[in-house]
Amino acid sequence: MNLILDTDIKYLPGIGPKRAAMLEKEIGVRTFRDMLYYFPFRWIDKSKVYPISSIAGDQMLDGEDTPSSSYIQIRGVIVKKELVGFSGSRPVRGKGRLVATMQDPTGSIDLVFFSGLKWISEKLNQNEEFIAFGKPTVFNGHVNLVHPEIYRPSEAVAYGTGSMAGIYSVTEKMKNSGMGIKAITKIQSLLLERVCGHIPETLPDSIIVGKGLCSLEEALRNIHFPASPRELEAAQKRLKFEELFYLQLSLLKQRNVRLSKSGGIIMSKVGDNFNKCYRSLPYPLTNAQKRVIKEMREDMRSGKQMNRLLQGDVGSGKTLVAVLLSLIAIDNGYQACIMAPTEVLANQHLASISKFLKATDARVALLTGSTKAKERKQILKELEEGSINIIVGTHALIEDRVRFHSLGLAIIDEQHRFGVDQRSRLWSKNDDGLAPHVMVMTATPIPRTLAMTLYGDLDVSIIDELPPGRTPVVTTHAWESQRRQVFDFMRAQIAQGHQVFVVYPLIKESEKMDYENLEAGYMRIVEEFKTPEYITAVVHGKMKPEDKDIDMQLFASGKAHILVATSVIEVGVDVPNASVMVIESAERFGLSQLHQLRGRVGRGAAKSYCILMSGYKLSKESRKRLELMCKTTDGFVLAEEDMKMRGPGDLEGTSQSGLAIDLHISSLYRDGRFLEEARQTALEILDKDPLLQSPESKLLAGQLQLLRRQGKDVKDYSAIS
C-alpha cells in the first residue's frame, strides 16, 4: 500500500469532506490515486502566449508567431471596459453585454461577455494585466474573443498556462458547485506537488527500457500538464501501454490458472452418432467448419478443459458445429447442454437440432420458463438419469434443481447476454467435480483486437466462410420519397408467397428525434396492408413475453405476412420464408446491428433483400455506414469499419466496462497497436512464469492484485477453475 497515494482526497488543501463526497459521487474519485488517474479527455495548447497582432480577420496570420489552433492565448492590460445594451442599470433583453478592451505592445482586441457581467466587471480592473484564452471571432468587421477564460498572471499555473492544458469531463452538479474544469486543473496541480517523489514505479525496468517508455511519475505529470505535444504523446504511450499490458496479463494469467487447475474430461473417440449425423447431412461442411471442429476435437481429448469462443457470421453454420460437438460428447458417454438467451432462440435451436439428429439415436429436449410443470418434472428426471442426451434451454438450465447425469459439454449461444456468475453455475452441475468443456458462440462479428481483450481468457475459433447455397442479400438504400415503391415491392414479394420484416429503432415518439417509431409505423403498415388480405404481427421489447411469443409464432408459422418489430428480433429469429428486411431510420443503427438485422433474411432458397430507409438529413458518418452496407455483406469487414468510425465507447453493447481492470485512457478500439504489443509482452512474461510466482514477478503480481481490487466489476473464475 502506498500511504500517500491512498490518502483520502478530502485531505488535499481546498477539498474537505463536502467536496470529497461530491467527487466520489460524481466521478468516483476517493483517493489521491483516483484523482491522479482522472485524466483529461482532450488538451488545448496553452504553452505559448501570442501577440494580439497575430490575429487578422477570422483567420490566423501565417508565420512563426501564428497560433496552431483556433484557440489563442494573449496577455495584456485592460485599457477600457464598458457595459453595452443597458437601459439605466438594467440590460435590454438579449442585448446586455460587457466589452473590455485588452492591449499589448502589438495591438488591441475586445473581450466580450454576455453573462456573469457583475462578477467579471469587478474582476477586470482597468489598467491591470490579465491573460485571456479563447477563440477569436469576427463581429462587424472587428476581431474579438467571446467569453474567454480570464485570469491574472499570478494564477497562470493553476489555469494550465505554459503547458498543453487538459480539458476534464465534469458534471453539471460539479460545475454548479464550483468544481468545474478550472477547479479540477488547480486540484491536479496541487496534488502533483504533494505526491512528487512518492509515486512508485509500476513496471519493471526491463519493460520500461525495452519499450522506450518514460517513468510513471513523468507520465502522470505530463498527462495533466504537458509542456509540449511531444511530452503528451510520451505520457499517453506509457499510460496506454501499461493499462493494456496489465489487462492482458490479468486475462492470460487467469487462463493459466484455469488450465493448471481444471483437469478436462477426455473425449477420445468419434462414434456412431457423430458418423450417422455427418453422413446424413444434406450438404458438405465448409472448410471453415471442418477447421473449427478439428480445433475443438483437439481440446476435448487433450485432458484439459476446453474454453473456446466460436465466432461466426450470420448463417455460417455454428449450430451444426454445436450439434456435431455434442454428438462427440454423447459418443463418449456424456451429455451436452445448449443455453440460449431467449425462448424464441431456444425453440429455434430445438427445431434445427432435431432435424440434424434424425439419423442418430440421440435424444434432445427443451427446458425454458414456459415448460409446463408436469413436463418439467419428467425432463428433470430423465436428465438426471441420463436418458436425455442434449438439453436446449434458457436461464432455466442454471436453476439448482436442474441436475445432469454427466454433463460433458456446455454450449452458450450469444454469450455476452449471460454474466460470468450465470455461466459458472452450469459448470458446477457435475457431482464428480469435473468441469465440462465449454464453447461459447456469437454471431456478432468482433474485430480481432477487441476479441483479444473481451475474450482474452478463451481460445478463439472463427467460421469465416458461408455454406454453399446461401445467396448474398441484395441491399439497397431508399429515401422517404421512395416509400410508395417500397410498399409496392413488399406486396409483390408477399404475392410470391414470401414474408417481410419491418424494423424500427424507437418504440414511442421522441420529442428530440425526428425518426420513424414503431407505433406510428405499425398503424401505417396496417392501413396500407389491410386485413383480411394481409396479416401483420408486432413484436417489441416492452411487450409481455407471452404476447411477444404469440405474435412471433404467428409470423414464424407463416400465418402473418409482415412482422413490425424493434431490434428485439436482431438475434436468433429464423424464418426461412422471410425474403425482405425493411429497416426504418437505418441511420440510427450501427453497422454491426444493421448487419445482424440483415441476417434475418436470406435463410431460405429465395433471393432476399434488405432495404435501408432514411430521411434526407444524413451526417457524413451515417451516409458512409449506409454505403458500406450496400457495398459488402462481410460481417467482419463491417465490424472493423464500425470500430474505426465509432471509436472509443460502446460497440453494439460491448463496452469497456466489466473488464478485470478499469481503463482510464486506453481504448480497445483505437489502440490496437498498443494492445497487440501489450499482449505479446504479457505472453513472453507468462511463458517464463505462468502464474507470476517467481521473485522477479513480485512487482507485476502486486500491481495486478492492486488493479483487480480497484476494478469495479472483477471477473471471478474460481467457480470454473
Residue 229 clears pLDDT 60, i.e. is over it = yes
Nearest Cα residue to 390 out of 338, 320, 333: 338
Number of domains the chain is built from: 4
375 domain-assigned: yes
What is d(CA 135, CA 545) in angstroms, rounded to the nearest whole number?
A: 55
Examine the domain organization and report whether 324 and 446 are in the same domain. Answer: yes
Backbone angles phi, psi at 65, to 5 degrees: -90, 15
Q: Are residues 116 and 191 in the same domain?
A: no
Q: With a cut of 60, say whether residue 280 has pLDDT above it.
A: yes
The region, left, alpha or beta by phi > 0 then psi within -120 to 50, assigned to residue 315 is left
| pLDDT category of residue 235 using cuts at 50, 70 and 90 | very high
Picking from 159, 182, 212, the residue at the C-terminal end of a domain is 159
d(CA 408, CA 326): 9
Domain that holds residue 574: 474-632
pLDDT of residue 54: 81
Q: Residue 654 has what DSSP assignment?
A: B
Please state, in angstroms and rounded to a whole number, the distance separating the CA atoms of residues 663 and 239: 10
Same domain for 58 and 36: no
Element (H, E) at 519: helix 518-528
- Give the per-residue pLDDT at 380: 92
Helix (H) or strand (E) holding 355: helix 343-356
CA distance 173 to 24: 12
Position 231 in a domain: no
Q: Is the peptide bond before 51 cis (omega within 30 degrees of 0)?
A: no
pLDDT confidence of residue 430: 67
- Any domain includes 369: yes
Q: In the predicted model, is pLDDT for residue 709 greater than 90?
A: no
pLDDT at 515 over 60: no
Q: Are residues 114 and 189 in the same domain?
A: no
pLDDT digits (tens, 9 = 90+) for 427-485: 666 666 678 898 988 877 676 666 666 666 677 888 887 777 677 899 999 998 999 99
Beta strands in 160-240 (DSSP E): 164-167
Q: Which residue has better confidence, 340 or 637?
A: 340
Closest by Cα among 706, 662, 701, 650 to 247? 662
Distance CA 410, CA 390 (A): 10
Last residue within a domain, chosen from 632, 664, 688: 632
State mean pLDDT over 403-411.
Answer: 91
With beta carbons less than 8 A apart as the criterion, state whether 422 and 395 touch. Answer: yes
Same domain, 394 and 479: no
Residue 216 inside a domain? The answer is no
Same domain (yes/no): 70, 138 = yes
Q: 331 pLDDT band (50/70/90 cuts)?
A: very high
Mean pLDDT of 91-108: 83
pLDDT at 629 over 80: yes
What's the pLDDT score for residue 474?
93
Structural domain contains residue 263: no
Last residue of a domain, one of 613, 632, 651: 632
If asked whether residues 324 and 453 sit together in one domain, one would say yes
Let me know if residue 89 belongs to a domain: yes
Instruction: Kindly state the average pLDDT of the residues 140-157.
Output: 83
Q: What is the mean pLDDT of the chain?
A: 82
- Residue 34 sits in the same domain as residue 57: no
Q: What is the DSSP letter of 327?
A: H
Residue 420 has pLDDT above 80, yes or no: no
Nearest Cα to Cα of residue 656 among 199, 247, 94: 247
Give the model confidence (pLDDT) of 588-627 as tens digits.
Answer: 888 878 888 888 888 777 889 999 999 888 888 889 999 9
- Whose grid coordinates read 455427418? 278
Local confidence band at 643 (pLDDT 50, 70, 90 cut-offs): low
Contacts of 416 (CB under 8 A, 6+ apart): 442, 444, 653, 654
What angle do helix axes 591-598 and 635-646 make, rounded to 10 degrees?
150
Does residue 496 share a domain with residue 454?
no
Q: What is the dihedral of CA 669, 672, 677, 680, to 10 degrees?
A: 80
pLDDT of residue 67: 42
Q: pLDDT at position 652, please? A: 34
Do 510 and 451 have their domain in common?
no
Amino acid at site 477: H
pLDDT at 655 over 50: no
Query: Which three cell numbers, joined as nine digits, stand for 108?
Result: 488591441
Instruction: Pick the closest to residue 346 from 421, 411, 405, 422 (CA basis).
Output: 411
Cell digits of residue 692 = 507470476
Task: Calculate mean pLDDT across residues 515-539.
Answer: 85
Distance of alpha carbon 383 from alpha carbon 390, whole angstroms: 9
Number of alpha helices (DSSP H) and beta strands (DSSP E) in the chain: 23, 26
Under the banding of pLDDT at 50, 70 and 90, the label for residue 129 is very high
Amino acid at site 265: I
Q: Which set of grid coordinates corresponds to residue 462?
A: 472463427
Helix axis angle for 620-631 and 635-646, nearest 10°, is 170
Does residue 720 form part of some domain? no
pLDDT at 389 over 90: yes
Longest dimension (CA), the chain: 98
In whole angstroms, how far apart are CA 654 and each of 415, 417, 659? 12, 10, 11
Closest to 162 measured CA to CA, from 215, 110, 221: 221
Q: What local confidence, expressed as pLDDT, does residue 576 receive?
A: 81
CATH code at position 113: 2.40.50.140
Span 31-46, average pLDDT? 90
Q: Are 488 and 611 in contact (CB under 8 A)?
A: no
Q: Which three cell numbers stand for residue 523?
A: 398503424
Going by pLDDT thresholds of 50, 70 and 90, the confidence category of residue 199 is very high
Dist CA 537 CA 552 (whole Å): 7
pLDDT one-digit tens code per residue, 661-689: 677 888 776 777 888 899 889 989 998 98
Cα 698 vs. chain centroid, distance in angstroms? Answer: 33
Let me know if residue 213 belongs to a domain.
no
pLDDT band at 653 (very low <50, low <70, confident <90, very high): very low
Residue 53 has what pLDDT?
Answer: 85
Instruction: Clarify whether residues 383 and 308 are in a common domain.
Output: yes
- Rounded to the nearest angstrom, the gap between the alpha carbon of residue 293 and the centroid of all alpha carbons in its chain is 29
Give the HSE-up count for residue 484: Cα atoms under 13 Å, Cβ half-sphere. 1
Coil/strand/helix, residue 499: strand
- Round to whole Å and give the CA distance between 612 and 594: 9
Please report, for the domain that includes residue 352, its CATH number.
3.40.50.300
List beta partners, residue 335.
407
Asked if residue 446 and residue 509 are part of one domain, the reply reads: no
CA distance 243 to 291: 34
